[in-house]
Each structure stands twice: as C-alpha cells, then as structure tokens.
Amino acid sequence: MATVGKTLAAILLCCLVATATSYKRNTLVNRHHSHDHSWDYLLFVREWPAVACMSPDAQRHDCSVPNVVHNWTIHGLWPTKEHTEGPNYCNDDDKFDVNKIKSLIPMLDRFWPNLYSDESPSSFWKHEWTKHGTCAMSLAALGDELKFFSTTLKLNKKFNIDSALYDANIVPSDNRQYMLSDIKQAIGQQYNTEPIVDCLQGDNGQYLFDIRICIDKEFQARSCDGGSSHECDDSQPIRFPPIHNGTAKFIKGLH
C-alpha cells in the first residue's frame, strides 16, 4: 500500500511539474529575469490563427478567431541573443499601461489579437510587453510601449507573409497541402532570408502554426541563428486550413 501511495505521489508530482513548465501563450508563467539584457537581433513571430486555436494549450481556453481577423496575426517581437533565447523580463518598473497604446487598439485587435476570449483583450499585449518589450526598449526605435507596438505593426506590413505565400500560390485550403521547402522558398524569395517555420503535429498530419523572421537592429531581414524549422517534418506535406471565425475545432493528436 505504501508503494502504491509513493507511486501515485510521484505521478502527481510529474503532472504538476509538466503543468508548471508547459508553454502558456498569454499568462506570465516561468518568469525568468535575465541578468544580461543585451541582445543581437529580433525574432518576429506570426502565427496562423486557425491552427493556433487548435493547439493543446488553446484547448484549455475559449479560443476563437475574431471576426475582424482574416490574415496571419502577430505573436510577438522578441529580442534574442545569438545561440540562445531571451533576454526576457528586463524591467519590472516599466509597467504595461493600455492607455499608452489606445490609439493603436483597432489595429492591434485586427493584427495582434488575443485569441483567448476568456481573457481580457489587452492581457496578451501586456504579456508581450512585460516579457519582450521591456528588453526591446534598449533600442531607441523601440524605446517605450507606444514605439514597441507601433513599430511591430509597421513590421507586420513590411514583412507581409500573407502576400509572400499568396504570390507563391500557397493559400489556405481544406484540401491542398504544401511542402516545407516551398513555404520557406516563398518567404525567402520575397525577403531574402530563410524563415523559421513551426508546425503542430497531429494524427492526420502536420499543420502550419507559425513563421518567424529574424530582423536586425535596423529592421532589415537577416539570417536566423539555429535551425530552419521547429517540429516540422520536411519530408511530409503541411496542412494550411482556412480561418473559420469563431471557436476552432480541436484536432486529435495535435502536440
């Protein structure tokens, strides 16, 4: 009986550890304060909202694609050091204030939305500012909250991946699938850089989740440090489902 009790306790501990260390899109978890706040380039991350709402993390929320969203959405602009991640959470004193970006809210709702309808619309922006914006502000062009969000919106227009994929005839479809090499080539030809592509793996194949472009401090595309894809099998086709505004269907086996 004691052995069974110890086994159950061990299983519970493992589950708690797994829960505590799992990735949360909006909430401030695993908060790691960087002592070295220097960084080398920016990682500009966009996600496909139809797939973002299929992810296991999203299934723990009321995830839905707002009616105003029809394109790739911004996940974040992340200062990054060569050969590593971060820095993160660089300035606790510079608190997020939604009033400072009030003029941007219509654009943010469309291009940088919080897909979790069970949270406040601004909670995602608060998370991105607190974790990444407070580190980006060491660059004058990103030196305050308004500059950080307005510049990111401008970069979203400059690096228009909707247009780049469309020009390569890579469009959302319930039937067509695409190879990773074609997706990377479409972005690469448009912006002269190889993107990082992230997929969600499921029982029915892999789904296009996010695309990341590395940008230097002059806001020009540059080569990325590290691998060219995350969780994508380059030998298998990739699903790119259309956006259906509203709650997305959970796809069995996604991870």
For the annotated catalytic residues, the residue numbers are: 75, 128, 132
Alpha helices in the chain (DSSP H): 2-21, 49-52, 105-111, 123-128, 134-136, 145-158, 161-167, 180-191
Q: Which H or E run contains 238? A: strand 238-239
Do residues 200 and 206 touch, judged by C-beta distance below 8 A?
Answer: yes
Q: How far apart are CA 60 and CA 229, in angstroms?
A: 26
Q: What is the dihedral of CA 212, 154, 38, 102, to 10 degrees?
A: -120
Give ∠ CA 94-98-99 in degrees, rounded to 5. 105
- Length of the chain, please? 255
CB of 72 within 8 A of CB of 52?
no
Closest among 170, 242, 184 to 212, alpha carbons compared: 184
Backbone angles phi and psi of 105, in degrees to 5: -55, -45
